[in-house]
Amino acid sequence: MIETTLKTEFVPGTNLQGDMVFADWRFLLPSIELNSILCLATPRASSARVLASIAKRIVVVDTDAVKLEQFAEVSQQASLDNIETLLIEDFTRIPLREKFSLIHLSDSGVTGNFLGNKSLQDTLKGLLSVDGIIKYETWTRSERHASQAALSGLTRIDLHGRAYWLTPFRGEMRTALPTKQLDIAGFFFRNVLYGQSFKKRMLSHLGEFLSGARLLDTLTPRRLFLLQKGECQHDSAKPPTYLYKLARKAGFNFDILRIGLSTRGKFNANKVIFYLFQASSPQPEAIVKMTRAPEFNYRLENEYRALATLQKSGFVPKETYPEAMFLDYHGGLALMAQKAVHGVPFRTRTTARPDCKLAHRAANWLVQLGHASSNTTLVNAEQAADKLDVLFRGFAQIYSLSDEERNFMAGQLARMKQCRVDFPLVFQHGDPGTWNILVTDANEVVFIDWEAGEPRGIPLWDIFYFMRTYASWVLRQQGNKDPLDNFMNSFLKPSSFSQWLRLLVHDYCNKIGLVVELIEPLFYTCWMHRALKESTRLRKSQLAEGHYFNLLNTCIKNRHTETLSSLFSCEEREGPAVIEEAGSRQFPEGILLDKGSSE
């Protein structure tokens, strides 16, 4: 049971590293396994670290001796042994004879020089390997116009360009979209760039409007250009060469698809995601997720196994989760392709109320998954408690627990061990937050991102986590930005959410065969597990401030409240949490429970 969870090492601060979230344009190259890179002008140290990981050798040339010396010192301190520096007098006279897979123009000054200087263009073309690439970016309208004027002339020396819109306007790129592909841009603004804050959502709406009005090209000056030498495919919209080769190897044809790339996230654990579109479709046909760092390959490997298992099982309708296509590797990084599921983010469609039909539909879907996958033949409660005790020992080592907290959690596990009953294992999504749910045109919910999936998972944990994320979102929209306060108001005090959760949990237990005595220990161990996961995103000095650590402690301190006592008992267990028709049964504070697909 919970094999993936038990194999995970929870070490504070290990998911804070972001040294590989720079230079994400590398994923648009034909390959991220390069022989050599030439950097014209000193690159930022953050980008240099990434480039050093994908090339055997990097040569940095600059006319500024001070910058070059500082860069060499930083590279040496970072043990970037494959980087060399070379001081030159003029970029048109580079005393090198080798050929480079990539020439990186590191700043706007050298880019402007390249675009307006035919001698420099000829010099760099002569330094490229057979299918080498020159990469540069433009940030202003004047730079973009200079690039457009230069591109037509560059074909004379057999350099052909691919161009991409980049967001944001400054800083590290977070999305790259092929220019002229306005339908792809519109999709991204509706579905990918939708943020939590009001400001970001307004920017997304503006971007969508500009795409529809065909003004995006005029008003967004930032561009990425990849100039490739030789007779290669030069369509910006086409997938990178390595991507369609791996797809062809797995029996899929990506040659005819168009791409949009999302590289959002600040940590190495965040994936880059390719959205692949048919020629005439505004909706993606497939999605490819790729890791930034090899240590996170296991997440995509686990997602592929989870989706494949889910597809074979038939536990839930196939249209309610992505269909896995293939898993492979490039440059030591895992990539997983899946068929796209068409829908919009749940947060754009929910009414942000406790009686939201879509929210109840999502909760009922989790009930159906648990009901269909429940297996009581593998472990008993004592064996399950032994597995959870492994997590508890790790938790107690990471966090500073009071005697009360330590004794209480140990007591919860002891109660589990004393239950001489079979323990139902269920197929667990593992991360059913509201951000991982889409809503289709038919108002059906789709659960995405199965990296934490557990085919033999813990019952109730998905239910508890989904309800916490939805309640927090609802109260956040009402103006309360404190997530712990939102949890207390929703589940530790009488409310629509505490009433809904009690009905949902008791119905779930009836369906999967979980005895009531196990609800309480599973409730507390759920937040313990969340605190363990959160610890990887916290420095040791921040552990005492962790949200889930404090949520767990708050629950322990308030364990005698009426709402928790009702949740953990058999009280009012007479009816299901799913009813035949929404509105046919009335609940306090306007709760309307939507009919779920499990009925």
Domain harbouring 145, CATH code: 3.40.50.150
Helix (H) / strand (E) element for 104: namely strand 100-105
Last residue of a domain, one of 233, 257, 284: 233
Instruction: Answer whether residue 415 is part of any domain.
Output: yes
Instruction: Answer whether residue 295 is part of any domain.
Output: no
* Residue partners of 281: CB distance under 8 A and separation at least 6: none
The DSSP annotation for 318-352 comes to: GGGSPEEEEEEEETTEEEEEEE----EEHHHH--S
Instruction: Answer whether residue 495 is part of any domain.
Output: yes
Q: Are strands 258-262 and 175-178 parallel, antiparallel or unpaired?
A: antiparallel
For residue 277, give the nearest of 235, 335, 339, 324 by alpha carbon: 339
Print the domain residue range for 132. 24-164+224-233
Backbone φ/ψ region at 447: left (φ over 0), alpha (ψ -120 to 50), beta: beta
The model's pTM: 0.87
Last residue of a domain, one of 233, 252, 285: 233
Instruction: Answer whether residue 140 is part of any domain.
Output: yes
Instruction: Answer whether residue 243 is part of any domain.
Output: no
Instruction: Answer whether residue 478 is part of any domain.
Output: yes
The SS3 call for residue 55 is strand
Q: Residue 578 has what pLDDT? A: 38
Instruction: Answer whether residue 43 is part of any domain.
Output: yes
Q: Residue 203 has what pLDDT? A: 63
Instruction: Answer whether residue 573 is part of any domain.
Output: yes
Helix (H) / strand (E) element for 70: namely helix 65-77
Q: Per the structure, how many domains does the chain have?
A: 2
Q: Which residues of the chain have pLDDT under 70?
A: 193-219, 231-234, 570-599
Return the percentage of the chain with pLDDT > 70, whole number.
90
Q: Residue 562 has what pLDDT? A: 93
Contact predicate 155/251, CB 8 Å = no
